[in-house]
Structure 1
Amino acid sequence: MSGINFFEKGEGQALVLLHGFCEIGAMWEDFANSLSDNFRVICPDLPGLAGSELSSDSLSMEEVAVILEEWMEEQDIQNPIVIGHSLGGYVTLALTELLGPKLKAIGLFHSTAFPDNEDKKGMRDRTVIFLNKHGVETFVTSFLPPLFPENRREELNQEIQTAISQAKKCSLEGLIAFTKAMRDRKDRREVLQNFAGGKLMIAGELDSAVPIEASQAHKTLVTDYVELAGTGHMGMVERKAETIEIVRNFCLKHSS
């Protein structure tokens, strides 16, 4: 058994929503409630984060893809559309490399096909040191607020506190394993370019984690590119209603 915890809502074309780092499947609840009018929406917890098991203290994106392939087989999830936020986008690309035409369409939500550069790898290493020293609660409390634009943090305080509360459900081992997996992931621009199905990218103009210039470099690699003005790394919260409709329209276009 894959050991994946998940929730689902609706029926029809399968739509798998993958959460990001310091996030859990429950972050997609409002998306699932709305999109279940059209789709079977399935939202798993990635291994070691929230309710899903972590079978070892190390992971690669390729290993996560294999675990999710097993889970999809267990749940009879066939020809899904898969959309991932941030880390979830890295996993989506690894799944694309593994499953290819078995996926109907894919989406990168504030994510990238580029690997980490040396500066980002150094940041990942410092994150591992910080997590080992201070633990999950201290880390997520400091990590999450800067993902939102500074000028909206007061307005979105309740949403930020909800995100922090959910992030505290992630295990220390899971966060460390995924930090290393993100650091060591490979360049998947060719995987993205060669995938024959629909390819969505949602980018944030003010994204502090995925610079807008990096997102714009993907325009020729995707079929649908959407840039959100005045938006940081958490567009599914900052621009919830708008991004739900972006995802719905993309999925409707590519589900026939």
Structure 2
Amino acid sequence: MKTLEIENSTLAYLDEGKGEAIIFLHGFCGSSRYWENVVPALSKNYRVIIPDLPGHGQSDSFNEGCTIGDFAEKIKGLIDQLNVQKVTMFGHSLGGYITLAFAEKYSDRLNGFSLVHSTAFPDSEEAKKGRMANVEKVNMEGIQPLIDGLVPKLFSPDNAKEKYVETAKEIGYSTSPQGAKSTLLAMKDRGDRNNVLESTELPVLLIAGERDQIIPAEKTFSVRKSNIRQSLLKDVGHMSMYEKPEDLISDMKLFLATIHDCC
């Protein structure tokens, strides 16, 4: 991992390969390690940049009161410091919310973008109550009970006993309590960004898991346009990068080939 100081806080990141830049943004209570099965295949032809989002992995936390837009600003600061003019951005879950916020403000810095098990819809009222309950859980019990309750739901029930579920838990335990709480509140308060999908002329890839218990496919496939591709991965929950990495990589390569004419 490398680190940069961005707006007086440390952001950790991986930077591998050469070529056109792509950036991966992980989900809530994840880290750059979420993409470890994907990086080798794509770093052969592309420069792959993967941050630990603020409050996750080895990166410093935001204070409470941050927004999804603040996460997007941090990503802009990263690519600015790396002197990268344009990227193709893949955002998983929370990372997808950040990708949409980035696309809303900085579309000129994107060659295209992808939502991976994510959605442009805001939280429902029920989901907002769940976020607040989880903030209270972290306050009362710490990060481990949150992770132990969350992670099994990320996977298809058929995959719940696979070894990679324990890997995802280990990654989750590295999330700081402050990072988890500030991120929960930012996700709770995010707005509806379907307008970003409706208005963008950029190439877009929407990826959903057939058995996703967190974000069902219809929440991902919210806008249909000629520049938006949809992919439904079979026998996959919310974590295709572990459950079916070869299928995810195939979709990503096809999408990137349409942008960069590189396979």
TM-score (norm 2): 0.93
Q: Which residue, out of 136, 142, 150, partners 1:135?
A: 142
Query: Unaligned 5+ residue runs, structure 2?
Result: none
Superposed displacement of residue 55, structure 1: 4.3
1:193 aligns with 2:198: yes
Q: What's the secondary structure of 1:219's corresponding residue?
A: coil
Q: Which residue, out of 228, 231, 245, partners 2:250?
A: 245
Q: 1:222 to 1:171 in 2, by over 3 A?
A: farther
Q: Quote the residue 2:28 is aligned against.
A: 21
Query: Unaligned 5+ residue runs, structure 1?
Result: none
Q: Distance in 2 between matches of 1:221 and 1:191?
A: 15
- 5 Å-filtered alignment, 1:17-56, equals 17-56=24-63
1:80 aligns with 2:84: no
CA contact (8 A) 1:54 1:174 kept: yes
Superposed displacement of residue 96, structure 1: 0.5
Q: Aligned-residue CA RMSD in angstroms? A: 1.4
Q: Distance in 1 between matches of 2:227 and 2:179?
A: 30
Q: Distance in 2 between matches of 1:203 and 1:173?
A: 29
- 5 Å-filtered alignment, 1:1-256, equals 1-2=5-6, 3-154=10-161, 156=162, 158-220=163-225, 223-256=228-261
Q: Distance in 2 between matches of 1:11 and 1:40?
A: 4
Superposed displacement of residue 222, structure 1: 5.5
Q: Distance in 2 between matches of 1:92 and 1:255?
A: 20
Larger helix fraction of residues: 1
Q: Distance in 1 between matches of 2:50 and 2:185?
A: 23
CA contact (8 A) 1:189 1:221 kept: no
Q: 1:194 to 1:221 in 2, by over 3 A?
A: farther
Q: What's the secondary structure of 1:49's corresponding residue?
A: coil
CA contact (8 A) 2:154 2:212 kept: yes
CA contact (8 A) 1:193 1:222 kept: no
Q: Distance in 2 between matches of 1:234 and 1:74?
A: 30
Superposed displacement of residue 175, structure 1: 0.6
Superposed displacement of residue 128, structure 1: 0.8
Q: Percent identity?
A: 32
Superposed displacement of residue 77, structure 1: 2.1
Superposed displacement of residue 221, structure 1: 8.0
Q: Distance in 2 between matches of 1:58 and 1:214?
A: 26
Superposed displacement of residue 120, structure 1: 0.9
Could you list the per-position Cα deviations for residues 176-221 of structure 1 after superposition, in whole angstroms to 9, with x for gaps in the alignment? Answer: 1110111000110111221221100001121111122222333348
State the one-letter code of the partner of 2:195.
Answer: E
TM-score (norm 1): 0.95
CA contact (8 A) 2:37 2:241 kept: no
State the one-letter code of the partner of 1:42.
Answer: I
Larger strand fraction of residues: 2
